[in-house]
Chains A and B, each alone.
Chain A
Amino acid sequence: MEINIGQHILNAHQEITAKNKEVLLKHGVLTINLMGSPGAGKTSVLEALISKMKSSVRMAVIEGDLYTSKDAERIEASGVPAVQINTRGACHLDGKMIEWAMQQLPLADVDLLIIENIGNLVCPAEFDLGEDLRISVLSVTEGEDKIPKYPLMFKDSAAVILNKVDLLPYTDFNMEDFYRDLRLLNPDVAIFEVSCRLDKGMDEFTVWLKSKIKTN
């Protein structure tokens, strides 16, 4: 007997993500999928954001790592509820993990949910977590050639944060190529040059993100 199906292999996953998105919509939560290489500065960006925003915006964080709860602990120390997902080997977060994490957060009291994805420029770009916006972090020490090398990651980002600009004098990072290649891929992307360590540039990013919450 032959049966015609024509359904996406990951249909079951997509359905879970669609349900998650409905729940977040119902609670009026703006959801960010924060991505970037290991060590780019995702958690540092989050810590800086929290210190500038937590008095006016109710935030919550879902942390994704293979192992340890180090990042969730850092976030909680900043005064914001965080749930740690340990994938124990999986290289990206998926809808089922997010569904589990969401159940542990007081979503009715959250305006802004940030999902810090696994440090990885490849796989997370391919999995929709039901987010409203994707934000990626690239650090100066990684090199400007990562933009054309990982197009899906940077093409789908609403904002790209270039971190560790304090290290520019010690690298050969080509700023001109960075801006040119990024704008070619993604003409409307918002670009922020920051140094989390020296508290440079994060105020501008905070203003931008706040404007997204207001229009949500």
Chain B
Amino acid sequence: MHEVGLMQSLLKMIETYSREYRLQKISRVVLHVGKLSNAAPEALQFAFEAISPGTLVDGAELVIEQPEGRTRCTACGQEFASKMARWTCPECGQPVVIIAGQELHLQTLEGDQEEETNGD
């Protein structure tokens, strides 16, 4: 996966939401990175730290939560918790589809809102 590129896209997204909610400094970013997505949390952390200096996420805490993976067999319909991406059903050997664990989401933003200026 392309962790630096992903973090740059994330930063753009954070900037857009910050404008909308008038946040001037971000203190915490929570990501959902599913266990079956191809992004590596350590690499994301590293990339985040590399691109934050001088931006509005400079010094922000990055929290990465990892939703569990689940797959469902296209033939027998059984569902399985999956730690790793798998392609065939452990019961009948037919192909499976991944139904959870591929999230790559910006879940929550925490920051200080701009203060309303009261005209004097």
Contact = CB atoms under 8 A, between A and B. Distances in A.
A and B from one assembly?
yes
Interface of A: 1-13, 91, 123, 126, 151, 155, 184-187
Contacts of A123: 2
Given A10-B6, A151-B87, A1 B110 contact: yes
25 contacts: A1-B110, A1-B111, A1-B113, A2-B109, A3-B21, A3-B108, A3-B110, A5-B105, A5-B106, A6-B106, A6-B107, A7-B105, A7-B106, A8-B105, A9-B6, A9-B9, A9-B104, A10-B6, A12-B12, A123-B2, A126-B1, A155-B95, A184-B87, A184-B88, A186-B95
A13 B107 CA distance: 18
A151 B96 CA distance: 13
Contacts, number: 66
Interface residues of B, number: 30
B88 A5 contact: no
A34 to B, nearest CB: 21
B21 A1 contact: yes
Contacts of B2: 91, 123
A126 B13 CA distance: 20
B17 A3 contact: yes
